[in-house]
Amino acid sequence: MSPERPAAVAPIEARLEIADLPAGIAGALDRELRTVGVRPSATAHNTVLALDASRPGAADRVRGLAGPGRLLVLSTAPIPAGDTGWALLRAGASDVVVWGGAETAVPVARRLRRWQNVDMLLDRPYVREFLVGGSPVWRAVLREAVEAARFTAAAVLITGESGTGKERMAQLIHDLDPRPTKKKLVILDCSTIVPTLSGSEFFGHEKGAFTGAAAPRTGAFELADGGTLFLDEVGELPVTLQAELLRVIQEGTFKRVGSNLWRKSSFRLICATNRDLLAGQAAGTFRPDFFHRISGCTLRLPSLRERTGDVIPLVEHFFREALPDREPPRLSPAVRELVLQRPYPGNVRDLRALALRIIHRHLGGDEISLGDVPEAERPEPGHRPGIRTGDPRLAGWVRDRLGGGATLADLTVGVEEEALRAALLSADGDAGRAARTLGIPVPRDGAAVPAR
């Protein structure tokens, strides 16, 4: 699979929102932005909000406009030091720029152009099919990955629980890397490296360098020259080896085992781990200098629990993969509920395995029936949807709250609020969709509230 060819240069489009500015300033701003090629469009994905950000209420304005696209705050007044600017970012702004007249228009256009290019990459069929998911939290991390891959040479550190897609993400970054010299992604799993042979694995060796070295060998750094080296399970690398790798990662020079000749290799490094490397540093098992070298850009892949809105699209994707020649069957409501309620400790890998187990039992027809669900996956008698007693995270949360003096009513309100927040987040703020997910009526003013 390979990424498609880049599209022709598109005009820069942005929604332009001007809040309470004198007509003269608003007019100048609009004119200058047009001069540098920005075309205001009510339907654009990204937004420019022009306002005096030093005045009260700016963060509320940002919050009101924040959506799936990116939002640039253009402030006509300087941003005071302190929390004002950060509050705008927390409210949903992607960046804050102080408008200084014509010369600000060029960097504004540059940002908007970059964001638009990244969005176009994200929407390519190759990307959407390779790493499935449209939830805001997934889109945000994918966006960062695409940007790093296409527009930087940064070393990327991918963290996340097992099965969240770290290796697949590394492949995507390699595929989107525009360097013409790249070959295949070179993958080394650090958890399987035998310490005595690690030098040879990484640096290669010359014939006769050690007993058993009957022929010369090209190591991973050399193989990755011009492309990408992916170190999976980097948290398992012994500290001594981390020190040995520093030079080549820093300077791109190394010697094969048994040779005095310095060789050069230019590669992008991608590392992945499900370990907490900060804790590793505190414990002395991970070198801080090594950490800084490998983490030019850090991507934390969310667990499936944090992106439940992606569960059904992923299942449908795995069905399509398994049945490429026909329309994949729909999930019947009870199976859908089961798939949504089930825990996935191995994240997308677990979900994929479940989807394949179901589809392998399916005997045709438009709908996945209850009998297609393997026996081991069926709910226990007395199971009530949504209530999984014994869930340790739920039990811990309840214990903490009760210990803090909460009543049953407080717990109920807390759960409702969380459910609303989660449903709205995975529905991209669409109250109707959120309400349908929650099984509650949508009130006339569009805000989803639980029926009491």
Nearest distance in Å: CB 304, ligand ATP = 9
3-state secondary structure of 435: helix
Pairing of strands 12-18, 38-40: parallel
What residue is closest to ligand ATP based on CB?
165
Nearest distance in Å: CB 176, ligand ATP = 15
Q: What is the DSSP letter of 387?
A: B
Query: Can you give the binding site for ligand ATP, defined by CB under 6 A?
Result: 131-133, 160, 162-168, 274, 317, 348-349, 352
Q: Which whole-number Å values give the CA distances from 360 to 113, 323, 356, 376, in the listed order?
A: 46, 10, 6, 15
Rank residues 140 and 411 by Cβ distance to ligand ATP and give the closer one.
140
Nearest distance in Å: CB 243, ligand ATP = 25
Nearest distance in Å: CB 352, ligand ATP = 5
Rank residues 160 and 329 by Cβ distance to ligand ATP and give the closer one.
160
Nearest distance in Å: CB 128, ligand ATP = 9
Residue type, 329: P
Helices 102-122 and 23-35 pack at an angle, to 10 degrees, of 60
Tokens of 446: 């569009």
Rank residues 75 and 135 by Cβ distance to ligand ATP and give the closer one.
135
Residue type, 410: D
Nearest distance in Å: CB 162, ligand ATP = 4
Nearest distance in Å: CB 377, ligand ATP = 18
8 Å CB contact between 90 and 79: no
Sheet holding 95-98, edge to edge: 38-40, 12-18, 47-51, 71-75, 95-98
Nearest distance in Å: CB 136, ligand ATP = 15
Tokens of 152: 């930087």
Rank residues 164 and 200 by Cβ distance to ligand ATP and give the closer one.
164
Q: List alpha helices for 155-219, DSSP H.
A: 166-176, 198-203
Identify the sign of the CA torsion 169, 172, 174, 177. Answer: negative
Rank residues 259 and 303 by Cβ distance to ligand ATP and give the closer one.
303
- Of 195, 270, 268, 288, whose CA–CA distance to 236 is shortest? 195
Rank residues 97 and 185 by Cβ distance to ligand ATP and give the closer one.
185
Rank residues 324 and 382 by Cβ distance to ligand ATP and give the closer one.
324
Using CA atoms, how far apart are residues 357 and 364, in angstroms rounded to an integer?
A: 14
Q: List alpha helices for 38-101, DSSP H.
A: 58-65, 84-90
Rank residues 162 and 192 by Cβ distance to ligand ATP and give the closer one.
162
